[in-house]
Chain A
Amino acid sequence: MSGVWIISENRRQSLELLNIGRQLADKMGTHAAALLYQDREHAGDCVSHGADEVMLLPPLSSEQPAESCIPVILEEAKKGDPELILLSATPRGKNMAALLAARLNAGLVSSCTQIDYDEGSKTLVMERLAYGGAAVQKAVCSARPAMATIPPRTYETAMPKTGRQGNIRELPSPPPSAIKVIERKVKAKEAKDISEARVVVCVGRGIEKAEDLTIARQLAEAVSGSIGCTRPIAEELHWLPEELCIGLSGIQVKPDLYLGIGVSGQVQHVTGIRNAKVIAVVNKDENAPIFKAADFGIVGDLYDVVPKLISELKK
């Protein structure tokens, strides 16, 4: 047995992971399998999007955490002996991946942004960022299976093909787990999803008071953009919700335009915007590192510059 496995909690993750998973399986001359541990409804979609096999875990009771599936997944992985296992780099996916890697005695490349298969040496070379985004680390796993977690939206969703066949099978129920979920709080979806936004206006510590966010909102309105922020604004000052926090440990955005106002440009933050097409910034400190990461920069006080920008944009 062998194969490229994707282990996923929802449809979008499955289809993104199947895109790269199917490509790699073809190069490696093996099959692709999907193991679904949360949302089971899209098993058929996994087949049409490239999975030769789909393994389904039974629905969990409300107090069972996703991790209770690990013993079952482990058993299947020992039987199936995959060459590569991919999961999404979401909080749950990263935790599941590390726990599985520990038990499989496998190497794991976290938040992997590129995977190449070298057909000559038959090795998988995986790329990720390190040192807060200042460095690119290339690594190989030295034991089988190789494992990686891939940030959501790194790959597009796979294209469906009609007439694809695949085997769908049920896995046994997981054993009871020592840890229990006693409550689930679903976050209110009031904040716009900035990872999809075409224009992002990002607020940094240069903003002096919470009330002054108004001028950022006015600027966002003028460019039909969404508001995002740096880590201190969300996590220390709590002026904006944590799901708007852009950076290595937050959301990674890829808009046509990133417009940073009062953003200093710490590496962790810059990593979250490196895929923006155009980066434009306003900061009064001409030595702020953000200017080195920007295409266009205005050196000036945002309280002076932003109103001028808004009126110019409205012309």
Chain B
Amino acid sequence: MPTVIACFKWVIDEAYIRRSPSGDLDFSSVDYKIGEYDRNAIEEAVRLKETAGAKAIAVTVGMPEAAKGVKDALSRGIDEAYFIADSSFGNLDSSQTALILGEVIRNRIEQYDVILCGEGSSDLYAQQVGPRLAEQLGIPCISFVQKLSLAKDQLVAERRVEEGIEVITSPLPALVTVLPDINVPRIPGVKDTLMAGKKPTVKITKDDLPPLSEPLLRTISLTSSRLERSCERFGTDAAEIARFVGSLRKKGAIG
């Protein structure tokens, strides 16, 4: 029975980030979610469970609050979860996250065939944890995959490149990062959510890990991206439509 691991990140839902009158980012009313692209990784792991009889494991590194995300992942059809949590894990850089994930996958999940990651996290979207994790584990990395199948001892993946598509074969184990169009993530029902509470979760704390490495990327500021637009409103009657088109012409936007 193949083992498939989906990695995910519990992130701030960017739709709730406001800009304060002073122009700073306002995180006061934010909600959290499993990253959009990571939902595709989870769904693909569950799809491989259903089509190839795989065991589906989810792994995440984050703050203790990410426990909600672990339950969410389990309700989406994952069999068991590894939850690596510490209150200092809120702002890890990609290299630190990959190092921690690699450490846990290597030592706790001895045998695995495919590791799935989203193409990027939907908060910082650095798109590096997947490739860096593959390097940590010394396994092949196939990024930006839109179609995946498992055959005997190898996987076949269609990945997106500039000129089109490359169909790739890789020996197992391998790491795959998936594009949003690989599948449509399911929405868990009430029963799935109830079942999730009964599934096993392995909790790992900072003390179970080697000392944290230094970050390779230091964020020096995070500010609101100002979009200076005039936000002028128009109605739908003939005079307003004419004024709208006139405004476009005046701005030189159309000939």
Closest to A143 in B: B216
**By the criterion CB–CB under 8 Å, are B131 and A65 in contact?**
no
Q: Is the interface of B mostly helix, strand, loop or mixed?
A: mixed
A305 interface residue per 8 A CB criterion: yes
Name the A residues within 8 Å of B214 (CB-CB).
142
Contact of B236 among A105, A249, A308 (CB under 8 A): A308
Name the A residues within 8 Å of B167 (CB-CB).
181-185
**By the criterion CB–CB under 8 Å, are A296 and B216 in contact?**
no
Q: Is the interface of A mostly helix, strand, loop or mixed?
A: mixed
Name the A residues within 8 Å of B202 (CB-CB).
none
**By the criterion CB–CB under 8 Å, are A313 and B254 in contact?**
yes
**By the criterion CB–CB under 8 Å, are A182 and B135 in contact?**
no
B211 interface residue per 8 A CB criterion: no
B1 interface residue per 8 A CB criterion: no
Q: Which chain A residues (249-276) contact chain B, with CB distance < 8 Å?
A: 249, 256-257, 266-267, 270-271, 274
**By the criterion CB–CB under 8 Å, are A105 and B216 in contact?**
yes
Instruction: Compute how far the CA of A137 lies from the CA of B235 in the bound complex, rounded to whole angstroms.
Output: 37
Task: Assess A267 versus B14: contact at CB under 8 Å? Given A142-B217, A182-B168.
Answer: yes
**Count of chain B residues with Cβ under 8 Å from any Cβ of A?**
81
A122 interface residue per 8 A CB criterion: no
Interface bits A211-245 vs B (CB < 8 Å: 1, else 0): 00000000000011000000100111000001000
Instruction: Compute how far the CA of A296 lies from the CA of B95 in the bound complex, rounded to whole angstroms.
Output: 43
Q: How far is the CB of A119 from chain B (nearest CB, A)?
A: 17
**By the criterion CB–CB under 8 Å, are B180 and A231 in contact?**
yes
Cross-chain pairs A/B with CB under 8 angstroms, 5 sampled: A98-B128, A110-B125, A135-B17, A187-B165, A278-B253
Q: Residues on A close to B: CB < 8 A?
A: 9-10, 65, 67, 90-92, 94-95, 98-99, 101-103, 105-111, 125, 129-143, 178-187, 199, 223-224, 231, 234-236, 242, 248-249, 256-257, 266-267, 270-271, 274, 277-280, 291-301, 304-305, 308-309, 312-313
